[in-house]
Amino acid sequence: MSKPALMNSTYITTPIFYVNDLPHIGHAYTSIICDTITRFKKLEGHDVLFTTGTDEHGLKVEKAAKEKGKTPNDFVDEVSKNFRKLTSTLEIQNTDFIRTTEERHKISASFFWNKLVEKNQIYKGNYKGWYSVKDESFYQEKELIKEGEIFKTQDGSVVDWIEEDSFFFKLSLWEKELLKFYELNPDFIKPLSRMNEVKSFVKSGLKDLSVSRTSFNWGIKVPNSDHIMYVWIDALTNYLTSIGYPKINSKKIKFWENCIHIIGKDILKFHAVYWPAMLMAINHPLPKSIFAHGWWTNEGKKISKSLGNTVDPNEMINKFGLDQFRYFLLREVPLGNDGDFSEKSLIIRINSDLSNNLGNLIQRVTKFLKKNFNNKIPYSLIDEYETNKQLKQGYFLINNIKIKMNNFEISKCLEDVFLYIDELNKFVDECEPWKSFKLDPEKAGKDLSILIECFRIIGIILQPFIPNASRKILDTLNIKESSRRFDNLTREHALKKSYELNNPQPLFPRYEK
């Protein structure tokens, strides 16, 4: 049965990054997760749009430009490049890179604003309250901690008291609708703990949201007014701009309805409360889901510019390699949990999982096959699929990974693949083809052929996670580009007798601790 067309469109988004900062591990993490999901969906046969970009307006950016003695325009042009460069360093497969200072975005955000006005969702008032420039967020006093004369957010950022004319979005009208929506769509916010957090936030009461500012200029102008748009309204609409809003055709709507926003836990309220409420308010379909990942610390300490302890992804990749860095971030903690970064734990992962476990296994088997079988598969594997333990496990693994990936269990997927690799290592140790080869070359040939077929399974499955190493494995196995999708992981595609491999390639060097 063919799949409905709707299932085949997927739209993945990273948050757009503030340009007041240099790219760090947090930005790299979000991007790598999105890239992994993108690659996975593509291998499943989906058509994927994947957008990332930079959030360039707001007081925070205006202040950062001033500190550097630059105009906001010059400043954002310069800093946005660092983030664009990060996408190429990370080799992520984004289909768009959006900047909120682009004309297409101004058109889209203004259109969105006008829709809110048209639907009677905006009114003029005066905002008196607390504001954190660091989070670009308004706070109620009950959410803050008082330290002497200063008020701080739970994360320790100082808030300022502001009083200014402002437009308001009638967020309070959407409380019930939001709660109803969460009930009807229990998978809308993941992990579940975040869904519960959001529900209790909404249940505790929503106030109308101030959505424009008048005390500074760096932003998109509110149509027919001297206000500028609150940076979060501007920023959230990027997800629509990127697919052509306001001109969204039926094809693009399918992408939108299958849109997954991957975000950090700190920006959940904006994505899971404000954004759906505004979309409901203009009667626009909602994205499919939001996944909030955890935060990385550096050797137990919160990463911050002032502590000077940010982890530079460029440095890590230069030192250890891209796949190694990706693997660590994806494997070390379950998606949704916080993680602690240290070079020591990165090296442990590289040495034990990638170098010893995966790399050695592939090297020793392919080298032996080259030396003794002239790189040719000595045995046909089609008939082995139903009976051979290793192949059956491989088959099981594929289905298991598909289920887990669609549930965002990335780390668990890698754990399962590497447990399978453990099993294959045990199999090699038991059958010792290098010994049995002399006494029983046929048996050795069969065992080696089974292993190579298992490598085909591993090589294909690992593509979304460690794309470069997988490419090397599949190149060594001489698997054509067009035969690397998941639907090739079947018995019919199993390698046949006399199939010729390419020469082995080195995979992962070991590092000294």
Interface residues with ligand MSP (CB under 6 A) are 15-18, 26-27, 29-30, 55, 235-236, 238, 263-264, 266-267, 295-296, 303
Q: Are strands 160-169 and 209-210 parallel, antiparallel or unpaired?
A: antiparallel
CB–CB of 220/228 below 8 Å? yes
Which residue's CB is nearer to ligand MSP, number 193 or number 498? Answer: 193
Work out how close the CB of 288 gets to ligand MSP at its nearest, in angstroms, rounded to a whole number: 17
CB 48, min distance to ligand MSP, A: 19
What residues does 17 pair with on adjacent strands? 54
CA pair distance 138, 165, nearest whole angstrom: 14
Q: Report yes or no: 268 and 197 within 8 Å, Cβ to Cβ.
A: yes
**In this structure, which amino acid lies at residue 52?**
T
Q: Is 338 left (phi over 0), alpha (psi -120 to 50) or beta?
A: beta
The single-letter DSSP state of residue 499 is P
Minimum CB separation of residue 454 from ligand MSP in Å reads 35
Q: How far is CA 462 from CA 12, 43, 62, 159, in A?
A: 20, 11, 43, 45
Shortest distance, position 38 Cβ to ligand MSP, whole Å: 17
Q: In the 8-state DSSP scheme, what is residue 219?
A: S
Q: How far is the CB of 236 from ligand MSP (least distance, A)?
A: 5
Minimum CB distance to ligand MSP, residue 307 (Å): 12
What is the C-alpha to C-alpha distance for residues 478 and 65, in angstroms, rounded to an integer?
52
- Indicate the residue among 60 and 254 with the shorter CB distance to ligand MSP: 60
Is the backbone peptide bond immediately before 186 cis, with ω within 30 degrees of 0?
no
136 vs 384, which CB is nearer to ligand MSP? 136
Cross-sheet strand order for the sheet of 296-298: 301-302, 296-298, 339-341
In order of 23, 36, 89, 142, 246, the CA distances from 28 in angstroms are 7, 12, 10, 34, 30
* 3-class DSSP assignment, residue 190: strand
Measured distance CA(18)–CA(79) in Å, rounded = 9
> Using CB atoms within 10 A of its CB, is residue 475 exposed (0-12), middle (13-18) or buried (19+)?
middle
State in angstroms the smallest separation of the CB of 326 from ligand MSP.
Answer: 15
Q: If you write DSSP's letter for every residue of 17-62 in order, what string do you get? A: EETTS---HHHHHHHHHHHHHHHHHHHTT-EEEEEEEEE--SHHHH
Instruction: Report the amino acid identity of residue 370.
Output: K
We find the least distance from the C-beta atom of residue 411 to ligand MSP, in angstroms, to be 15
Nearer to ligand MSP, 178 or 263 (CB): 263
Least gap, CB of 259 to ligand MSP (angstroms) = 13
Nearest-approach distance from CB 134 to ligand MSP, in angstroms: 9
- Quick one: residue 136, left, alpha or beta (phi over 0 = left, psi -120 to 50 = alpha)? left
Phi-psi region for residue 53, left (φ > 0), alpha (ψ -120 to 50) or beta? left
Cβ at position 2, least distance to ligand MSP in Å: 35
Nearer to ligand MSP by Cβ, of 201 and 427: the residue is: 201
Residue pointed to by tokens 């590497």: 418
Nearer to ligand MSP, 96 or 416 (CB): 96
Q: How far is the CB of 304 from ligand MSP (least distance, A)?
A: 9
Q: Could you identify the residue written with the tokens 């979005």?
A: 169
What length does the chain have? 513
| Residue 252, number of CB atoms within 10 A of its CB | 18
52 versus 355: smaller Cβ distance to ligand MSP = 52
In the bound state with ligand MSP, the residue whose beta carbon lies nearer, of 309 and 407, is: 309
Kindly tell me which of 21 and 175 has the beta carbon lying closer to ligand MSP: 21
Identity of the residue, 115 or 471, whose beta carbon is nearer to ligand MSP in the bound complex: 115
In this structure, what DSSP letter does residue 333 have? Answer: S
Closer residue to ligand MSP (CB): 30 or 210: 30
C-alpha torsion sign, points 170, 175, 180, 184: positive
Q: Which is nearer to ligand MSP, 57 or 471 (CB)?
A: 57
In this chain, which residue has its C-beta nearest to ligand MSP? Answer: 264
How far, CA to CA in Å, does 459 sit from each of 414, 452, 476?
Answer: 13, 10, 10
For residue 76, the minimal CB distance to ligand MSP (Å) is 12
For ligand MSP, the closer of residues 137 and 258 by Cβ is: 137
